[in-house]
Amino acid sequence: MNDTSQEVQVETFAGSRPGVTVIKVTGPLTIRNFFDFQAQTRNHKSPVLIIDLGQVPYLDSAALGSLLGVHVSCGKNNRKYGLVNVNDRLKTMFTVTGVADVLMTFPNVAEAEAALA
């Protein structure tokens, strides 16, 4: 059975400032489909990584773990990151799970670039 409701698209492109990579995620991010996202976040080498979650209606605990992995990896490698366009559902998840004050979030890509690049 092919469940197309679980499809996710992950696009990577350069930001508007030097040294910035933006990863745009579209669709629900879950254990069934987050591997491409995880691989792209692990393989990025730019000084600043911005992850656009504006088109992510929800994510599960495995996907949340991969976001925390970005936080840890960037800290260890002296890189910066930001999560942008985070909807209310994801913000609530971050708060309930106790990571809202750990994860770096910004309202949009432009504000993240201004703060991080």
What pLDDT is stored for residue 3 in this prediction? 47
SS3 of the chain: CCCHHHCCEEEEEECCCCCEEEEEEECCECCCCCHHHHHHHHHCCCCEEEEEEEECCCECHHHHHHHHHHHHHHHHCCCEEEEECCCHHHHHHHHHCCCCCCCCEECCHHHHHHHHC
pLDDT at 1: 39
Domains of the chain: 8-116 (3.30.750.24)
Structure tokens at 90: 């994801």
- Length of the chain equals 117
pTM value is: 0.92
- pLDDT over 70 (residue 59): yes
Average pLDDT, stretch 90-97? 97
Examine the pLDDT at 5 and tell me if it is beyond 80.
no
Mean pLDDT of the chain: 93
> Residue 4: pLDDT above 90?
no
